[in-house]
Amino acid sequence: MNESRGAILERVRSGRVGAPVESRPAPPTPIPTKDSSSLLDRFVQEAEAVGAIVHRSDRRELTVEIVLRILRDAGVNRLISWAPNDLPISGLMEAAVDNGIQLVGPPTPAKAETLGRDWAAMATADAGLTGAVGGLADTGTIVLRSGPGRPRLTWLLPPLHVAVLPSSLVHPTLSAFMGECGELVGCSSHVAFVTGPSRTADIEQTLTTGVHGPKEVHILLVDHDCNPIKEFEAAQATTVSGETGDRMSKNDLVQ
């Protein structure tokens, strides 16, 4: 294996001798947005264009009510939820439980250890409840990231996915998100950019949803106060102290 490594790198290196090194382009400028309301309108428009269902709310109570209504209308009995303090608003998971919905899957890291890799329980869930760490206006995308209280199967296994997205986290483009929140990528082993429900067109280009992931994606775009994103703050703190920043940049060739 080490032999191959050396040989491959040597061939690549010898091939590039004398070859001009192309200058790198400037980072792309994000699409300018006039004001935040047009940014959110754009997000809603694009998310709906790819088949997501967007609900807007300016009060915490209303957000809880809408989520409960979505779950009730879909006849949800079993729910996978992220841990309460990993959701952008408090009391959401508890409200679902109070309404007779059964929680399945590993809600806490401690329990996850004992569950091992037996996903059978999670596979029976009718819905998954998550919180987005970002939104991309020009594509209608939500950004989700894994973590101890945030199983990824939550947004992948059930036929219905409900995600809460604080409107302050909507960015104009993917490039803008990477520019401002790129550290988040290093902080989670899985960051997913999800744009609408799972779909395929592999059979005669006929669009079909829900092939592996959810058939329905509901996004709650909320304007009220939300819990802060702890990883993001931690990332910024460590960047300042140099720890994460060092790891991310020590091998960075590009000045």
Partner 1 sequence: MNSTPMSFHQRVSHALADGQLRVALDRTTERFTLNRVAGLASLPDADAVRDRARSIRLHTLSRLDEYLEQFEANVTSVGGQVHWASDAQEANEIVLDLARSRSVKRVVKSKSMVSEEIELNQALISGGVDVVESDLGEYIIQLAGETPSHIIAPAVHKTREQIGQLLADKLGVPMTDDPVEMTATARSALREVFLQSEMGLSGVNFGVASTGSLAIVTNEGNASLTVTAPRIHVAMMGIERVVPTLDDLAVMLLVLARSATGQKLTVYTDLLTGPRRGDPDGPEELHVVLLDNGRSRLVGTEVGEILACIRCGACLNACPVYQQIGGHAYGSVYSGPIGAVLTPSLDREGPWHVLPEASSLCGACREVCPVRIDIPRMLLALRAETVRSGKANQWVRIGFWLYRIAATKPWLFRCGVSMVRQLTKMFFVNGWLLRLPSPLSSWTQSREFPVIASRTFSEEMRDREEGSGDE
> At its nearest, how many Å lie between partner 1 and the CB of residue 221?
18
C-beta closer to partner 1: residue 66 or 145: 145
Q: Using the minimum distance from each CB to partner 1, give the nearer residue, 215 or 224.
A: 215
Token pair belonging to 106: 């590993």
- Closest CB to partner 1 among 15 and 75? 15
Smallest separation, CB 1 to partner 1 (Å): 6
* Residue 168, helix vs strand vs coil: helix
Nearer to partner 1 by C-beta: 106 or 166? 106
Question: Do residues 207 and 151 touch, judged by C-beta distance below 8 A?
Answer: no
Of 142, 163, 140, 160, residue with least CA distance to 86:
163
Query: In the complex with partner 1, which residue's Cβ is closer, 49 or 240?
Result: 49
Please tell me the distance from the alpha carbon of residue 159 to that of residue 211, in angstroms, as a whole number: 10
**What is the DSSP secondary structure assignment for residue 167, as one 8-state letter?**
G
Instruction: Determine the Cα–Cα distance for residues 74 and 41; give it in Å rounded to an integer.
Output: 26
Largest CA distance in the chain: 70
CB of residue 11 vs partner 1: minimum separation in angstroms?
4
Please report how close the Cβ of residue 215 comes to partner 1 at its closest, in angstroms: 9
Do the beta carbons of residue 132 and residue 100 sit within 8 Å?
A: no
Q: Nearest approach, Cβ of 160 to partner 1 (angstroms)?
A: 14
